[in-house]
Amino acid sequence: MESIISLHNPLIKNYLRLLKSRRFRQQHKKIAIEGPNLVREALCAEIVPEVLFFTEEYYSSPAGKWIASVSDSIRKIMLTTSLFMEITSAETPQAVAAIVPYTFNIENDPLKNNSNLVLIIDRLQDPGNMGTLIRTAVAAGVNLIYCTSGCVDPYSPKVLRSTAGAIFHVVLQEIGDDRVQILKLKERGFQLVAADADGDYPYWSAGFHPDVALIIGNEATGIADDLLKFADLSVSIPINASVDSLNAAVAAGIILFEINRRRLGH
Amino acid sequence: MESIISLHNPLIKNYLRLLKSRRFRQQHKKIAIEGPNLVREALCAEIVPEVLFFTEEYYSSPAGKWIASVSDSIRKIMLTTSLFMEITSAETPQAVAAIVPYTFNIENDPLKNNSNLVLIIDRLQDPGNMGTLIRTAVAAGVNLIYCTSGCVDPYSPKVLRSTAGAIFHVVLQEIGDDRVQILKLKERGFQLVAADADGDYPYWSAGFHPDVALIIGNEATGIADDLLKFADLSVSIPINASVDSLNAAVAAGIILFEINRRRLGH
């Protein structure tokens, strides 16, 4: 086990750049994750950190016992509590953090022969919304998530935290303006469903196909026209007139769990 | 119209204390709200501000035209942009803010003769969750919200922002540890339903009564035992095993919209 006491250590500098810069994350195909929950969720998903940082206090506490048992191939680095406080982006101090290799465009096709549920997220801006939406989607059984290039980075610290680690259990890919992945979904026979306050059908009366891709749009402007044109169907969630709209993750949750429920035969 | 140029002005000091201190809000029965959306939602709900603050830039822009038309009984105060930047709690600068009187325990009974939907929020901590939960509840037709005393203050700036103004369209009351309001709901024949990952029934097969109160608990620890004991029924939302739990607002949305949908006969 090593220990670091300075903010100027190259490994710490590297960690901080991974925390702060989307471009740096993409260049190096690595992400910085913070907090025991996220680190343990990554380990559960068999994503092996390159480096683990932790405080001495955490390491010697019962909660931190697991660190001693992780593989020797992971570099383990002890930091002083004050140094750890300086590198954390969270409002509440965290006791453990990691640098994790991440394949931003996984080559394997995560789609099954049937009963696929795909989520397409278009230009969502709020990190908390993005994270909660990913968490909700994985909970509802979504096996592939596409984000358009205008979305907040799903690997930024706030988004990662809001996913509560669910992001490690799903294939997530960015799609470009050529929409080639959307065309492939159409070719494979997917029904594309747009969530839209002015949709054709209330979600309870819409008919869903065996393979569905749900599109969720930007908080203020909804789904971009050049994406919306691919939709086979649009569904709405009727709401009380005094409220303007639902939060994106809540709306997605209601529709995704409706699809899921019907698949379960209820 | 008046103008203020100093942070030391008593009205500005008052605004900042209302923004920052729960106790000050409760003592003075007023809240501080920020941003055009919230201020206009309050006006729509016929909540009349005591004071409106705005920048000269906003006032002379097309978006700010409405300010000139609001009642003369509302004090209108122009601030320099730099002063406005200093008093805002939001990450993105806002152009308008207000001090709004608020009756924290509205005496009128908001319950109808039947088909009531009540939400009971127990010790929810995250401001974003709290705001989204309130927004979701109002969208689903909830007409009364109870918060236990351990909840984050629903009138704090972050919560207000996350409600997107929905909070002005519902009666919201704090309930104490004596749970007297819960006993009254029971007396009135309400069915108390606990949202619980280990619930008795999946939400789709649970039977709901004409008057329902749904209880949503703390993010980590769920519903307190002395509240849970009042529940007639507990319902779960079956989720994918790789995810630990759903976000509180998403879970509430799925159950509340299920109740709502059945009332609409679907």
Which phi-psi region, left, alpha or beta, contains residue B71 (left: φ > 0; alpha: ψ -120 to 50)?
A: beta
Question: How far is the alpha carbon of B238 from chain A, nearest alpha carbon, in Å?
Answer: 8
Of A135, A243, A261, the CB nearest to B166: A243
Q: Give the pLDDT confidence of B138-165 residue by residue, as tens digits.
A: 999 999 999 999 999 999 999 999 999 9
Q: Do A264 and B139 touch (CB under 8 A)?
A: no
Which pLDDT score is estimated for B103?
72
Closest of B134, B121, B204, B200 to residue A254, by C-alpha:
B204
Which pLDDT score is estimated for B101?
92
Burial zone of A97 (CB within 10 Å; 0-12 exposed, 13-18 middle, 19+ buried)? buried
Q: Do A136 and B205 touch (CB under 8 A)?
A: no
Structural contact between residues B154 and B167, judged by C-beta atoms closer than 8 angstroms: yes
Nearest residue of A to residue B245, measured between CA atoms: A139
Quote the pTM value: 0.94
Q: Indicate whether B222 pLDDT > 90.
A: yes
Q: Indicate whether A105 pLDDT > 90.
A: no
Q: Do A138 and B243 touch (CB under 8 A)?
A: yes
Share of chain A above pLDDT 70, in %: 98
Name the phi and psi angles at A60, rounded to 5: -90, 0
Section A77-85 average pLDDT: 92
Structural contact between residues B130 and B160, judged by C-beta atoms closer than 8 angstroms: no
Q: Do A240 and B165 touch (CB under 8 A)?
A: no
Nearest residue of A to residue B168, measured between CA atoms: A242
Question: How far is the alpha carbon of A246 from chain B, nearest alpha carbon, in Å?
Answer: 6
State how far the Cα of A235 lies from the Cα of A228, in Å rounded to an integer: 12
pLDDT band at A106 (very low <50, low <70, confident <90, very high): low
Which pLDDT score is estimated for B104?
57
Q: Which residues of A touch B264 (CB under 8 A)?
A: 238
Q: Which residues of B touch A266 (CB under 8 A)?
A: 202, 204-205
* Cβ neighbour number for residue B54 with a 10 Å cutoff: 24
DSSP lists the bridge partners of residue B100 as B31
CB contacts < 8 A (A, B): 89
How does A103-116 read in b/e, with b if 16+ C-beta sit within 10 Å?
Answer: eeeeeeeebeeeeb
Q: Indicate whether B91 pLDDT > 90.
A: no
Pick the range with the lowest mean pLDDT from A45-49, A124-128, A219-223.
A45-49
Cα–Cα separations (whole angstroms), residue B66 to B54, B81, B92? 12, 19, 22
Please give the torsion angle defined by the CA atoms of residues B197, B202, B206 and B210, in that order, rounded to the nearest 10 degrees.
Answer: 60
Structural contact between residues B151 and B121, judged by C-beta atoms closer than 8 angstroms: yes
Q: Which residues of A touch B240 (CB under 8 A)?
A: 138-141, 169
Token code pair at residue A190: 């997917």
Q: Which residues of A touch B139 (CB under 8 A)?
A: 239-240, 243, 245-246
Section A156-173 average pLDDT: 94
Q: Indicate whether A157 pLDDT > 80.
A: yes
Structural contact between residues B171 and B145, judged by C-beta atoms closer than 8 angstroms: yes
State how far the Cα of B252 lies from the Cα of A137, in Å rounded to an integer: 16
Structural contact between residues B57 and B51, judged by C-beta atoms closer than 8 angstroms: no
Residue A112 vs residue A194, higher pLDDT: A194
Nearest residue of A to residue B246, measured between CA atoms: A136
Q: Do B257 and A254 touch (CB under 8 A)?
A: yes
Q: Indicate whether B130 pLDDT > 70.
A: yes
State how far the Cα of B214 lies from the Cα of B195, in Å rounded to an integer: 7
State how far the Cα of A42 lies from the Cα of B213, in Å rounded to an integer: 37
Instruction: List alpha helices for B48-156, DSSP H.
Output: 56-59, 66-69, 81-87, 127-139
Pick the range with the lowest mean pLDDT from A5-9, A10-14, A222-226, B223-227.
A5-9
Of A128, A141, A164, the CB nearest to B244: A164
Burial zone of B240 (CB within 10 Å; 0-12 exposed, 13-18 middle, 19+ buried)? middle
Which pLDDT score is estimated for B92?
72
Using beta carbons and an 8 Å cutoff, which residues of A are at the interface with B?
45, 128, 132, 135-136, 138-141, 164-166, 169, 202, 204-205, 237-240, 242-247, 249-250, 253-254, 257, 261, 264, 266
Question: How far is the alpha carbon of B9 from chain A, nearest alpha carbon, in Å?
Answer: 31
Question: How far is the alpha carbon of A189 from chain B, nearest alpha carbon, in Å?
Answer: 24
pLDDT band at B106 (very low <50, low <70, confident <90, very high): low
Interface pTM (ipTM) of the complex? 0.94
pLDDT band at B243 (very low <50, low <70, confident <90, very high): very high
Question: How far is the alpha carbon of B259 from chain A, nearest alpha carbon, in Å?
Answer: 12
Cα–Cα separations (whole angstroms), residue B155 to B26, B90, B244? 10, 14, 30
Q: Do A244 and B202 touch (CB under 8 A)?
A: no
Mean pLDDT (chain B, rounded): 94
Q: Do A244 and B128 touch (CB under 8 A)?
A: no
Q: Do B139 and A240 touch (CB under 8 A)?
A: yes
Which pLDDT score is estimated for A40?
92
Q: Which residues of A touch B202 (CB under 8 A)?
A: 266
DSSP at B64: G
Q: Do A247 and B249 touch (CB under 8 A)?
A: yes
pLDDT band at B107 (very low <50, low <70, confident <90, very high): low
Helix axes A127-139, B248-263, angle to 10 degrees: 60
Question: How far is the alpha carbon of B6 from chain A, nearest alpha carbon, in Å?
Answer: 30
Which pLDDT score is estimated for A138?
97
Q: Give the pLDDT confidence of B29-79 residue by residue, as tens digits.
A: 999 999 999 999 999 888 999 999 999 999 999 999 999 999 999 999 999
Q: Indicate whether B105 pLDDT > 60.
A: no
Closest of B26, B46, B264, B257 to residue B169, by C-alpha:
B46
